[in-house]
Amino acid sequence: MSTTVKKATWAIDPIHSTIRFDAKYLMITSVSGWFMEFEGTVVSEQDCFANSEIQLTIYAHSLNTGNDERDNHLRSADFFDAKQFPVIQFRSNAVTMQEKNIHVSGVLSVKNIEHPFTFTAIFLGFCSDPLGNAKAAFEMDTVLNRKDFNITWNQFFDKNGLLLSDEVKVHCDLQLLKLS
Residue 1 has pLDDT above 60, yes or no: no
Alpha carbons 15 and 53: distance in angstroms, whole number: 22
CA-to-CA dists, residue 178 to 6, 19, 46, 62, 128, angstroms: 13, 20, 10, 25, 10
Give the CATH number for residue 154.
2.40.128.110
How many domains is the chain built from?
Answer: 1
pLDDT tens digits along 116-151: 999 999 999 999 999 999 999 999 999 999 999 999
1 part of a folded domain: no
Exposure letters 44-67 (e unless 16+ CB within 10 A, then b): beeeebeebebebbbebebbebee
> Residue 10 in contact with residue 41, Cβ under 8 Å?
yes
Strand partners, 121: 102, 140
Range of the domain at 144: 8-178
pTM as predicted: 0.93
pLDDT at res. 129: 95
**Residue 30 CB: number of other CB atoms within 10 A?**
12
Compute the average pLDDT of residues 2-17. Answer: 88
66 part of a folded domain: yes
